[in-house]
Structure 1
Amino acid sequence: MTQKLAGRTAVVVGGGQTPGATVGNGRAAALTYAREGADVLVVDRDLDSAEETAELIRKEGGTSLAHRADITVEADCESIAGAALDTYGRIDILHNNVGIVPAGRTEDLAAETWRRGFEINLTGMWLTCKAVLPHMRHRGSGTIVNISSMAGLLAGGETIAYNTSKAAVHSLTRSLAIEYAPHGVRVNCIAPGMMDTPMGVDANARAGGVSRDDVAAQRAAMVPMRRQGSGWDVARAALFLASDESAFITGVVLAVDGGFSLRAGIQ
């Protein structure tokens, strides 16, 4: 590795993962940041899963600590910033990876399902940013990488709450980017497409009562490159946005999707 993040601290929110055969976006990002020299605070609601990621980092010779937090609770988000500062003394990178997929068409969708989707996908992300941004502003530097979805650029009846909340993440990213640009803080977003992750494939296979291979094949067939991406593809894009290689880039929504958005007619 090139040690692009040597001497820096990265906070990866959603750094654990659901059970599955492949690596998730959050775990891949935490490992990638660590391999590039960053100290990593791995945050997840599931402390055991966060600890698994932190232990993987430590086994490779990196420095990492697991921290439990529910991002829908403002005090928990404040505890994330506090834990990073108490342990490492600084926060250079905030990586927001938490999200759920509330499903249902408008007339069948419970209001609580809609609210919960926005609470986790949008408000929680805003709360973690709110907790970390004062430190970044004071230091005059920092980068935030928000993980969204191509769904935020699409319309979908059965996933209207998911699509709409992810579109709001894009707006949140741009709004924070313009607000904090004068303070040396960059805020960008990654919109993954069809990814071979536990949440994308294994969870859908379990929910549908079908094989993992069938779900993976169906998803791959939708991508112009005829394959899914991986958590490592998202992590490498995140590394670019978190590093000095993107020092003059802020407010972008970067598609990591194998051309899926082109097929969907998104410009």
Structure 2
Amino acid sequence: MNGKVVIIAGGAGVQGRVAARLLADAGATVVLADLSAADLETAAAGIEGALAVPTDISDPDSWQTLVDRTLATFGRLDGLANFAAVLSRAGAETTELAVWERTLKINLTGAWLGVKAVIPAMRAGGGGSIVNVGSVDGLVGRGGGTAYQASKGGMRLLSKSAAIEFAAQGIRVNSVHPGPMKNRMTNVVGPKADASGIATLEAKLTAQVPMGRLGAAEDIAYAVRFLLSDEASFITGVDLPVDGGLTAQ
């Protein structure tokens, strides 16, 4: 990753922060993008040379500002990691239209806008790598979370379609699909969850994973870093589950 410049959308979140640190450790310069300027500054602290750019990933103009600032500051753009997402747990019958539209706008439209925004810069630079972070819920049906599953399933095919479209231009597009994550249990259970509720859900999900544990942010970050790197130069259009064997069953 030496000398590469990578945008991390959702860079103020837990997974985005860990990915930023691991990418920087490997020699990359990272640009952190998220909605909250304060959270971004906290995420960027301690990462040498990191640039924090407040960004609304559901807005094309905001994406363009992000790319323009990246190029103005560093003169190049080599990678994009799309971590930004929101979670909806309601099923097909109970999902409200506003929730459906917001979930797809951020998770799927936001990812598409990111791909659209970075392609010209990557093309001008001779190539690049895009990694969209989906979910195992975008690979298999699990019941409930209908809008979330639809958005992540759409991201998977967005990645494959873009991979074919831009392969000849040296731009690779892949997707990483996390399984159950230990640091996301409060989001799954809800903000009012108590420790016992989280522990019960963790135990239930752990029992479903053949490797017998929940994922950590580092598990996802290492996979993303690999796909962004030149070590993955002949890999494009791939779905990479990072799920302890969950979807292999």
Whether the TM-score (by the shorter chain) exceeds 0.5 is yes
1:214 shift after superposition: 3.5
What residue identity is the alignment partner of 2:220? Answer: V
Q: Deviations over 1:160-201 (max 9, x none)?
A: 11111111000000010001001000011000001122xx21
1:184 aligns with 2:170: yes
Aligned counterparts of 2:202 and 2:65: Cα–Cα separation in 1: 38
- Gapped regions of structure 2 (runs ≥ 5): none
1:156 shift after superposition: 3.3
- Residue pair 1:104, 1:157 contacting (<8 A) in 2 also: no
Aligned counterparts of 2:91 and 2:187: Cα–Cα separation in 1: 20
What residue identity is the alignment partner of 1:207? Answer: P
Specify the alignment match of 2:20 in structure 1.
30
1:51 aligns with 2:41: yes
Number of aligned residues:
247
1:136 shift after superposition: 0.7
Given the superposition, is the C-alpha separation of residues 175 and 149 from structure 1 closer, same or farther in structure 2, using an over 3 Å criterion? same
Specify the alignment match of 2:194 in structure 1.
210
Aligned counterparts of 1:56 and 1:216: Cα–Cα separation in 2: 31
- Residue pair 1:196, 1:230 contacting (<8 A) in 2 also: yes
Of all paired residues, the percent bearing the same amino acid is 38
Specify the alignment match of 1:20 in structure 2.
none
TM-score by length of 1: 0.89
TM-score by length of 2: 0.95
Specify the alignment match of 1:21 in structure 2.
none
1:208 shift after superposition: 5.4
Aligned counterparts of 2:186 and 2:37: Cα–Cα separation in 1: 21
Given the superposition, is the C-alpha separation of residues 206 and 161 from structure 1 closer, same or farther in structure 2, using an over 3 Å criterion? closer
1:215 shift after superposition: 3.4
Aligned counterparts of 1:49 and 1:207: Cα–Cα separation in 2: 19
Specify the alignment match of 1:201 in structure 2.
185
| Aligned positions of 1:78-93 closer than 5 A | 78-93=64-79
Specify the alignment match of 1:15 in structure 2.
11
SS in 2 for 1:16: coil
| Aligned positions of 1:70-219 closer than 5 A | 70-197=56-183, 200-207=184-191, 209-211=193-195, 212-219=198-205
Alignment RMSD: 1.3
SS in 1 for 2:177: strand
SS in 1 for 2:150: helix
- Gapped regions of structure 1 (runs ≥ 5): 18-23
